[in-house]
A = this chain, B = another copy of it.
Amino acid sequence: MALRHAVLAALLDGEYSGYQLAKGFDIGVANFWHALPQQLYAELAKLETEGLVTGREVVQEGRPNKRLFRVTEAGLAEMERFAARAAKPSFIRDDLLVKVQAVDGVAAAPVIEQLTERAQMADAKIELLEKLLVKLRGGADEEEFLRTGERVGPYLTCLRGLAFERESRDWCRRAAALLSERTAAARGRG
């Protein structure tokens, strides 16, 4: 059971449809979990049959109806149990790092390109996360909000996501610059 708790955690924020969860970066969980729409729909269906969430149909005009889900008491209890049992250690799992690991044995140019792209994507995500943080703390000072705010969980996970993206961007830029210099130097030597 993996995705289920991420979905439950996302739904603690309020009512969402599968579609909203699939799209929603502003719903926070995207910082530390990723899933395709199909998985989310499937997981929501399973959670509903198990009584951990309930869905209600919302009739819409000008667009298809949707089903909004919220966590039940049983769902919250499940989350409570999940939070209390030991978490397994986490790790980065990233194709790009595999490529960099092998970069001394293969052509560096495409790896440099991918590092640059990744850095740009990180920039975009950083901007999004910074805006999200401002929104979450509602104009208040960060320290103040963290001391006295009501819901600091999503804020803390955003901070983690932001730090990760910043580190990722800086490292990508540094590695790209370095590999470029080395390629240039190698060409210089013939």
Q: Which residues of A contact B (CB under 8 A)?
A: 2, 5-6, 8-10, 12, 28-34, 76, 79-80, 82-107, 110-111, 114, 118, 121, 146-147, 150-154, 156-157, 159-161, 163-164, 167, 170-171, 175, 178-179, 181-182, 185
Contacts and interface: CB of A to CB of B under 8 A. Distances in A.
B146 A101 contact: no
A147 to B, nearest CB: 7
Residue among A5, A30, A92 with most chain B CB within 10 A: A92
Given A9-B99, A83-B110, A105-B153, 5 more contacts: A29-B101, A32-B94, A32-B98, A92-B164, A104-B152
A106 B81 CA distance: 9
A84 to B, nearest CB: 4
A8 to B, nearest CB: 7
Q: Across chains A and B, which 4 residue pairs bring their CB atoms closest together, nearest first?
A: A32-B97, A90-B94, A87-B95, A103-B153
Given A34-B93, A96-B90, A101 B9 contact: yes
If over half of A's interface residues share one DSSP class (helix, strand or loop), that class is named, otherwise mixed; here it is helix
A93 B178 contact: no
Nearest to A11: B102
A34 B91 contact: yes
Contacts of A153: 100-105
A9 B152 contact: no
Nearest to A114: B87
Contacts of A175: 156, 160
B83 A99 contact: yes
A182 B152 contact: yes
Contact of A105 (B76, B98, B121, B161): B76
B121 A102 contact: no
Contact of A147 (B80, B103, B182): B182
